[in-house]
Amino acid sequence: MSENINLTLKIWRQKGPNDKGHLETHEARDISTDMSFLEMLDVVNEQLTVEGKDPVSFDHDCREGICGMCGTVINGLAHGPERGTTLCQLHMRHFKDGDTIVIEPWRARPFRIIKDLVVDRSSFDEIIQAGGYVSVNTGQAPEANSIPVPPEWAELAMDAAACIGCGACVAACPNASAMLFVGAKISQLALLPQGKPEAAKRALSMLRKMDELDFGNCSNETECEAVCPKEISITNIARFNREFLVASFGSSEK
Amino acid sequence: MNWLINTLGSSIGKKLLMAITGLGFIGFLAVHLIGNLTLYGGQDLFTSYVEHLHALGPLIILAELGLLSFAIIHIVIGTLLFYENLMARPVRYRVKKNAGGRTIGSATQPYTGFIILAFLILHLLNFHFAEHTNKSLYQLISSAFANPLYVGVYVIAMIVVAIHVSHGFWSLFQTLGANHPKYMPLIQKLGIAVSLMFGIGFGFVPIFISFIA
Amino acid sequence: MQLDARIPGGPLAEKWDRHRFELKLVNPANKRKFEIIVVGTGLAGASASATLAELGYNVKTFCLQDSPRRAHSIAAQGGINAAKNYPGDGDSIWRLFYDTIKGGDFRAREANVYRLAQISNNIIDQCVAQGVPFAREYGGLLANRSFGGAQVERTFYARGQTGQQLLLGAYSALMRQVAAGKVKVYPRREMMDLVLVDGSARGIVVRNLITGEMESHAAHAVILATGGYGNAYFLSTMAMSSNVSAIWRAHKKGAYFSHPSFVQIHPTCIPVHGTYQSKLTLMSESLRNDGRVWVPDRAGDKRSPNDIPESERDYLLERKYPSFGNLVPRDVASRSAKEVCDQGKGIGPTGFAIYLDFKDAIERDGIDVIRKKYGNLFQMYERITGEDPYKTPMMIYPAIHYTMGGLWVDYNLMSTIPGLFVLGEANFSDHGSNRLGASALMQGLSDGYFVIPYTIGGYLAGTVLPEVDEAHPSFEDSIKLMNEGIAKLLSIKGSRTVDDFHRELGHILWEYGGMSRNESGMLKAKELILGLREQFWENVMVSGSPGEFNQTLERAGRVADFLEFAELLIEDGMSREESCGCHFNEAFQTEDHEALRNDDSCCYVAAWEFNGPGKAPTLHKEPLVFENVELAQRSYK
């Protein structure tokens, strides 16, 4: 049943990329436990606005856990304490009256802070540009059922394709590595016959782009899998490793 | 050969080198452990094992060179990875919690690595590069472990090795791409078994020598 | 101005082929000389950008979010229709066409809808080739399901994330063209104004949401694919940034707006729980395939659902519509829900909810089958409400979901402004007064992948366009005007927040312009909107400065537009003297309280012309001619 709680928030405030930034304390009063975390922040922002202060900037859009726009680190955990949940789907019933909540932005070298909790994730787009697609122009496609896909592969591909590109994997990785994000895309396309012709080129090129963007190196800490709101498995990273090995040593791609 | 440098210089490539050299060390440690087991059989058995080993001659030198190059790769790349990973997050979190993926082994991997390096140097100075002409290896060992400080250092070092291997073992399979829902749980259990085996097998030697033998 | 829909002649089935032949072509070598602007990166925008770039045009693509992959098409759950007839259950292009026309209650153009049905099959081919992981049968071939009132299985799906997978497919095609240097993506930009030169659309002014700077972008043609305006109602299933601003500002520059009052209310959403609720979450309509809708027989029955015996339950949809049962179209299901709640039979703390029960389905198919089909939806429900739908029935209530209305476009998807094309939900074209399930994805991709690439070529090849660049004075004029508007918003420094105004506007629209409308209510709504708009411009509090990342300012601009647009929405509702599809005017209903169309005087497309602020808009009527289908009263009994 719903009840109202009071919380102390310590929120990262930073005016712009070059500002140093600091944790600022805000009180959140009379928060219904039915609210989502972002609705709780809305309430805080309404209060700040009425007081003539600068509201907290945070990214969000669909608020149903699929666009991948939202995400902050809550008390040291990306997207907060609930497994398989984006921040917008995290509800306040998971917090207790009197709790102190520390809210910090995703932190990684490629994720420059724009303002407060808002970070730049354009590096993810750049990685996809490096090969996260099947090269097929509109109109070139053959009849859909001429490409049968065993349902087991389709399911595994779908597991990987469920990635929402939120960046929690990078944020949670002790090394700020993007291997789960890249591994998921590589896996999706490697599992499907449509992705096969370009598999080798894709694996090499996406990995190079990822390295070039200064993400860290994977050391199999598996924190990414633990925080992923879509619970994408690290078997996708293993598949990426495999694809990379095959591409490097077994194909003519350089 | 440019492609090979590109491949091995990439993030997965570096991990691959760590995995392969790590696998080499696990193999070496297994052989080393089997050898050490002869210590439990007393001086004669151990000495005959050492003599047999030395009789291999050039093969030994070759193996030592191999180990040395593996060590250099593992240490240099490991240090580089450690540095790069630190650099990938220039501003740290004020509060950071374990979401459930990290283990003691994975969280301490670089640090246990550096401790093992320090131990390795000590270990080689103690036994490998020590003066062998007057004393047999067995005598060297038993005199070293007469000192309780040495016993302590060795036991702790072996615990550290076990922790390092506990992450390294399954991790190398993951890096080589061998993660399958059917086999991975087995590999992970095997990793724990191997690290326990190393920890107990090696760690018990100094205790045996100093207190029992 | 006389509206000309430019519908090609000839038999229905040949119109599109014939039109494609008649359209002028741009020489392959000349395509690179044309710049095209695309605003929005949902299914329509991303697919159009990618395809135009593949053809050789230079494309500039804009989106509000930090990445094109975030557009709200991503949230579509259920699936996408196509007339493949793989299950062999009697489907055909003609049947898909007919179902869509009928589902839209005969308020869409035959030619457009037929083309949509024709193209549907190409879309599936294209998406499969891109690597969209559609559900498969054991043999590896594509699986279909029946969806949202269709009596054939024609819906292709990727779990409950079909929209996501299709969007990521289009996004990947877009990223490929970015890598090829043919598309430049401008994320975190909001379109502020459409720039016309000599009456044609020649560019846009956008605000860089990070720096606050205004930027000019010139082009030979502008495509708007900016989605629907459901957020006018504050609470909806739309994303928080979904807005009417882009099409509204184009409307103010001369593009006619069609059917703003045709707003779809989706029956299966999670009910409202509190004041600070920011959005409503949709539960896929596919749930109605196995879930049974019911309320207690007796008003005010507060027993827990599992304590209410079968004999005291009213399975309202099965009772009222024996042949379609729980699968009646969205508008019918939504109104039925409202009807029983108005009778006091609603359940839950607010009384504005009905049950969707899976008990029988679980008993029939076993919990594993149900989990496989709906596992992620059940999980989502539990996450939001804290209740387990495997044990207690779900509570659902209708919510604003999709807007059939949008800018008027002709058969070429061009608005009344030459060179301004409008795709996807942002146009009014294919769904009439009610959209069928799994048709939105189909339309967005049809417009973007397969229609605009042909029709824009016809426009560019057939029009003489003078050279215009960003230095043209029209851009500067527009920027000046836009900056003034922003300065004004920031100068008010009142005492009410933007969201507060938005919430109140939402209440007005939901109350008087929602599922059921009447003359006096709509008149009242007009008055209330006018008053609220005045208050907004006197008393809104927008903090911060224009030259920075300022989310409050972004929202203020959008709400200001909603406050203007809402009046047109009501005006359109009042002008239509009938009930049709989602537009239910209480004065026009059958004895069974079903929508009663007035085909004699209302068989037209309403297209509103903007006459300046404070002036009444002019209604233009494009007659709808039905040569191939008979206008029947919809019946789902």
Give the whole-angstrom CA distance, residue A15 versus residue B43.
72
Give the whole-angstrom CA distance, residue B143 versus residue A2.
71
Compute how many other C-beta atoms are within 10 angstroms of the C-beta atom of residue C74.
Answer: 27
Residue A155: predicted pLDDT: 96
C155 with C115: CB under 8 angstroms?
no
pTM of the model: 0.96
Mutate one of A241, A251, A252, A254 to test the B interface: name it (highest B CB count within 10 A): A241
Give the whole-angstrom CA distance, residue A46 versus residue A223.
34
Model confidence pLDDT, tens digit, residues C466-514: 999 999 999 999 999 999 999 999 999 999 999 999 999 999 999 999 9
Model confidence pLDDT, tens digit, residues B33-66: 999 999 998 899 999 999 999 899 899 999 999 9
User: Who among B81, B93, B184 is closest to A107 (CB)?
Assistant: B93
Which C positions 21-60 lie with beta carbon below 8 A of chain A?
A: 47, 50-51, 54
Sign of the C-alpha dihedral computed for residues A81, A84, A88 and A89 taken in this order:
negative
User: Who among A137, A189, A194 is closest to C54 (CB)?
Assistant: A137
Residue of B nearest to A252 (CA): B3
Are the Cβ atoms of A254 and B6 closer than 8 angstroms?
Answer: yes
Are the Cβ atoms of A50 and C453 closer than 8 angstroms?
Answer: no
HEC profile for chain B?
Answer: CHHHHHHHHCHHHHHHHHHHHHHHHHHHHHHHHHHHHHHHHCHHHHHHHHHHHHCCCHHHHHHHHHHHHHHHHHHHHHHHHHHHHHHCCCCCCCCCCCCCCCCHHHHHHHHHHHHHHHHHHHHHHHHHCCCCCCCCHHHHHHHHCCCHHHHHHHHHHHHHHHHHHHHHHHHHHHHCCCCCCCCHHHHHHHHHHHHHHHHHHHHHHHHHHHHHC
Chain B contact partners (≥3 CB pairs within 8 A): A
Residue C466 tokens, joined: 């003078």
Mean pLDDT of C402-424: 98
Mutate one of A187, A201, A223 to test the B interface: name it (highest B CB count within 10 A): A223
- Within 8 A of A219 by CB-CB distance, chain B residues are 15, 81, 85, 106, 109, 171
Are the Cβ atoms of B101 and A223 closer than 8 angstroms?
Answer: yes
- Rounded CA Rg of chain B: 19
Residue A130 tokens, joined: 């490096």
- Within 8 A of A194 by CB-CB distance, chain C residues are 128-131
Give the whole-angstrom CA distance, residue C538 versus residue C491.
10
Distance from the Cα of A171 to chain B's closest Cα (Å) equals: 9
- Within 8 A of A245 by CB-CB distance, chain B residues are 12, 16, 176-177
Contacts of C426 (CB under 8 A, 6+ apart): C40, C44, C224, C225, C226, C227, C228, C246, C247, C406, C407
* ipTM score of complex: 0.98
Examine the pLDDT at C394 and tell me if it is beyond 90.
yes
Considering only CA atoms, which of A139, A118, A145 is closest in space to residue A56?
A: A118
Phi, psi of C320 (to 5 degrees): -80, -30
Residue A83 tokens, joined: 């497994």
User: Who among C66, C277, C450 is closest to A69 (CB)?
Assistant: C66
- Within 8 A of B10 by CB-CB distance, chain A residues are 207-208, 211, 244
Residues A11 and A80 both lie in one domain: yes
- Min mean pLDDT across A145-149, B129-133, B198-202 is at B129-133
Task: Please identify which residue in the block is written with the tokens 């045009």.
Answer: C57
Beta strands in A82-175 (DSSP E): 100-104, 113-115, 118-119
Residue C379: predicted pLDDT: 87
Determine the structural domain holding residue A139 and report its residue range: 121-250
Nearest 5 degrees, angle CA C414-CA C419-CA C421?
35
Q: Is A233 helix (H, G, I), strand (E, B) or coil?
A: coil
Give the whole-angstrom CA distance, residue B35 versus residue B53.
9
Q: Is C24 helix (H, G, I), strand (E, B) or coil?
A: coil
Model confidence pLDDT, tens digit, residues C108-124: 999 999 999 999 999 99
Which C positions 280-319 lie with beta carbon below 8 A of chain A?
A: 281-282
Distance from the Cα of A214 to chain C's closest Cα (Å) equals: 19
Residue C36 tokens, joined: 């095209």
Residues linked to residue C190 through DSSP beta bridges, in sequence order: C207
User: Who among C70, C278, C551 is closest to A69 (CB)?
Assistant: C70
Are the Cβ atoms of B106 and A73 closer than 8 angstroms?
Answer: no
Residues A163 and A243 both lie in one domain: yes
Pairing of the two strands C35-39 and A73-74: unpaired
Mean pLDDT of C225-244: 97
More confident of the two residues C329 and C79: C79
Q: What is the mean pLDDT of chain C?
A: 95
- CATH class label, B12-90+104-212: mainly alpha
Distance from the Cα of B94 to chain A's closest Cα (Å) equals: 8
A126 with A210: CB under 8 angstroms?
no
Distance from the Cα of B189 to chain A's closest Cα (Å) equals: 16
Residue C418: predicted pLDDT: 98
Examine the pLDDT at B213 and tell me if it is beyond 70.
no
Which C positions 85-104 lie with beta carbon below 8 A of chain A?
A: 86
Q: Grade residue A27 by pLDDT with cuts at 50, 70 and 90.
A: very high
Considering only CA atoms, which of C322, C325, C323, C303 is closest in space to residue C312?
A: C303
C330 classed as catalytic: yes
User: Who among A75, A109, A226 is closest to B95 (CB)?
Assistant: A75
Residue B61 tokens, joined: 């030198």
DSSP H helices, C104-223, are 110-130, 162-179
High-pLDDT (> 70) share of chain B, %: 99
Which C positions 482-521 lie with beta carbon below 8 A of chain A?
A: 495, 497, 499-500
Considering only CA atoms, which of C330, C287, C320 is closest in space to residue C104?
A: C330
Model confidence pLDDT, tens digit, residues A218-239: 999 999 999 999 999 999 999 9
Give the whole-angstrom CA distance, residue C621 versus residue C346.
40
- Within 8 A of B98 by CB-CB distance, chain A residues are 223
Largest CA distance in chain B: 59
Nearest 5 degrees, angle CA C372-CA C377-CA C383?
125
Residue C295 tokens, joined: 């309320």
Distance from the Cα of B160 to chain A's closest Cα (Å) equals: 18
B185 phi-psi bin (left φ>0, alpha ψ -120 to 50, beta other): alpha
The CATH number of the domain holding residue A14 is 3.10.20.30
HEC profile for C58-78?
Answer: EEEEECCCCCHHHCHHHHCCC
Residues A13 and A92 both lie in one domain: yes
Residues linked to residue C605 through DSSP beta bridges, in sequence order: C622
Mean pLDDT of C178-187: 98
SS3 content of chain B, % helix, strand, coil (to 5): 80, 0, 20
- The number of angstroms, rounded, from the C-alpha of C605 to the middle of its chain's C-alpha atoms is 17
For C509-558, give the DSSP string.
HHHHSSSSB-HHHHHHHHHHHHHHHHHHHHHEE--S-TTS--HHHHHHHH
Residues A228 and A202 both lie in one domain: yes
Are the Cβ atoms of C133 and A35 closer than 8 angstroms?
Answer: no
Give the whole-angstrom CA distance, residue B154 versus residue B145.
9
Distance linking the first and last C-alpha atoms of chain C: 42
Distance from the Cα of B186 to chain A's closest Cα (Å) equals: 15
Residue C363 tokens, joined: 């008993």
Sign of the C-alpha dihedral computed for residues A110, A113, A119 and A125 taken in this order:
negative
Give the whole-angstrom CA distance, residue A153 versus residue A161.
12
Using a CB–CB cut-off of 8 Å, the residues of B that contact A are 2-3, 6-7, 10-16, 81, 84-85, 87-102, 106-107, 109, 167, 170-171, 174-181, 184
User: Who among C131, C138, C273 is closest to A189 (CB)?
Assistant: C131
User: Who among A107, A222, A248 is closest to B89 (CB)?
Assistant: A107
High-pLDDT (> 70) share of chain A, %: 100
Beta strands in A65-187 (DSSP E): 73-74, 77-78, 100-104, 113-115, 118-119
More confident of the two residues C178 and C329: C178
Contacts of C492 (CB under 8 A, 6+ apart): C537, C538, C539, C540, C541, C542
Helices (H) and strands (E) in chain C, counts: 17, 21
- Within 8 A of C386 by CB-CB distance, chain A residues are 91, 93
C125 interfaces chain A, CB cutoff of 8 Å: yes
Give the whole-angstrom CA distance, residue A171 versus residue A168.
5
C456 with C421: CB under 8 angstroms?
yes
Number of alpha carbons in the 13 Å side-chain half-sphere of residue A9: 22
Residues linked to residue A98 through DSSP beta bridges, in sequence order: none
Residue B202: predicted pLDDT: 95
Residues A45 and A30 both lie in one domain: yes
Mutate one of A46, A67, A163 to test the C interface: name it (highest C CB count within 10 A): A67
How far is the CA of C619 from the CAs of B191, C257, C622, in angstroms? 76, 9, 10
- Min mean pLDDT across B97-111, C268-282, C453-467 is at C268-282
Mutate one of C172, C235, C401 to test the A interface: name it (highest A CB count within 10 A): C172
Residues linked to residue A73 through DSSP beta bridges, in sequence order: A78, A104
Contacts of B145 (CB under 8 A, 6+ apart): B151, B154, B206, B209, B210
Q: How many domains does chain A have?
A: 2
DSSP H helices, C223-344, are 245-252, 316-320, 330-342
C204 with C213: CB under 8 angstroms?
no
- The number of angstroms, rounded, from the C-alpha of C144 to the middle of its chain's C-alpha atoms is 24
Q: Grade residue C574 by pLDDT with cuts at 50, 70 and 90.
A: very high
Are the Cβ atoms of B93 and A76 closer than 8 angstroms?
Answer: yes
- CATH class label, C267-400: alpha beta
- Within 8 A of A90 by CB-CB distance, chain B residues are none
Residue C150: predicted pLDDT: 82
A179 with B13: CB under 8 angstroms?
no
- Rounded CA Rg of chain C: 24
User: Who among C124, C136, C159 is closest to A149 (CB)?
Assistant: C136
Residue C53: predicted pLDDT: 98
Model confidence pLDDT, tens digit, residues C246-305: 999 999 999 999 999 999 999 999 999 888 899 999 988 889 989 999 999 999 898 999
SS3 content of chain A, % helix, strand, coil (to 5): 40, 15, 45
DSSP secondary structure letter of residue B76: H
Cβ density class B128-140: b for 16+ within 10 Å, e for less: eeeeeeeeebbeb
Residue A247 tokens, joined: 């591409």
A26 with A124: CB under 8 angstroms?
no
C220 with C457: CB under 8 angstroms?
no
How far is the CA of A236 from the CAs of A120, C134, C167, in angstroms? 25, 19, 21
Distance from the Cα of A176 to chain B's closest Cα (Å) equals: 6
Nearest 5 degrees, angle CA C387-CA C390-CA C395?
50
- Within 8 A of A151 by CB-CB distance, chain C residues are 135-138, 140
Mutate one of A74, A123, A218 to test the B interface: name it (highest B CB count within 10 A): A218
CATH architecture observed for domain C473-621: Up-down Bundle (1.20)
Give the whole-angstrom CA distance, residue A164 versus residue A162.
6
**Which of C115, C145, C249, C330 is an active site residue?**
C330
